[in-house]
Chain A
């Protein structure tokens, strides 16, 4: 089954304790992205990657890091989480071809609470 998986689905942590949220896709997609969803703000892009070893900042990259060492994986790293990073996080992937008609496939989300 084609899918985007994220782990963990729920996480409660404390300020300053480094954490990683994993994202994996089995569709051989070139493009992967991380979003955060906050009430009334919709989804805002954190980082994205056009292919292996190619990453770039989105709209709200501060406090986050990413890496793309393999095509299927795109982990999100919070080196020193703070309470304002409490949010619902989504990973997404899509192919890069037919530039006007592709869609992004979203993972199920990771709800992060930083106390």
Chain B
């Protein structure tokens, strides 16, 4: 079945450090890919998305490129802030309907 694998956390960085959170997927077709962010005590919010190979999603300084050849959608940010501390979920959607398949989530902690 379809699945998403994320690097395990927590990831602890100092402010202004470079961030990479790895995400790879397995799918029987050509999924749309998403990154969601969950701030403490809140629900998930869509951070960025990409719907086809080589698309780059970007938002709030975060970027991720849909790599079909490596089935990956790694999340990057050049300079993290304390306010970026949250749990990040990679997800895919395949086919009709809105069903999302999520990875296990990666907690990011940014220290001043």
Q: Do A and B come from one complex?
A: yes
Q: Which of B46, B89, B98 has the most CB of A within 10 A?
A: B98
Question: Which residue of B41, B98, B105 is within 8 Å of A96 (Cβ)?
Answer: B98
Which residues of B have CB within 8 Å of A33? 98-99
* Nearest B residue (CB) for A6: B43
* Nearest A residue (CB) for B103: A42
Interface size of A as a range: 20 to 34
A87 to chain B, nearest CB (A): 14
A92 to chain B, nearest CB (A): 8
B46 touches A48 (CB 8 A): no
B interface residues, tally (CB under 8 Å): 23
A110 to chain B, nearest CB (A): 10
Which residues of B have CB within 8 Å of A45? 99-100
A75 beta carbon closer than 8 Å to chain B: no
Which residues of B have CB within 8 Å of A43? 44, 89, 100, 102
Question: Which residue of B8, B43, B44, B51 is within 8 Å of A100 (Cβ)?
Answer: B51
* Nearest A residue (CB) for B32: A100
A58 touches B99 (CB 8 A): yes
Which residues of B have CB within 8 Å of A107? 43
Per-position contact with A for B89-107: 1 when CB-CB < 8 Å, else 0? 1000000111110111100
A106 touches B43 (CB 8 A): yes
Question: Which residue of B34, B45, B49, B104 is within 8 Å of A106 (Cβ)?
Answer: B45
Per-position contact with A for B37-48: 1 when CB-CB < 8 Å, else 0? 000011111100
Question: Which residue of B44, B99, B104 is within 8 Å of A90 (Cβ)?
Answer: B44
9 pairs, CB–CB < 8 Å, chain A vs chain B? A31-B98, A40-B8, A43-B44, A43-B89, A43-B100, A45-B99, A101-B51, A104-B44, A104-B46
A interface residues, Cβ below 8 angstroms from B: 4, 31, 33, 35, 40-45, 48, 50, 58, 90, 92, 94, 96, 99-104, 106-109
Please list the 7 inter-chain residue pairs (A to B) with the smallest Cβ-Cβ separation, ordered nearest first: A106-B43, A42-B102, A103-B46, A43-B102, A106-B44, A42-B104, A100-B51
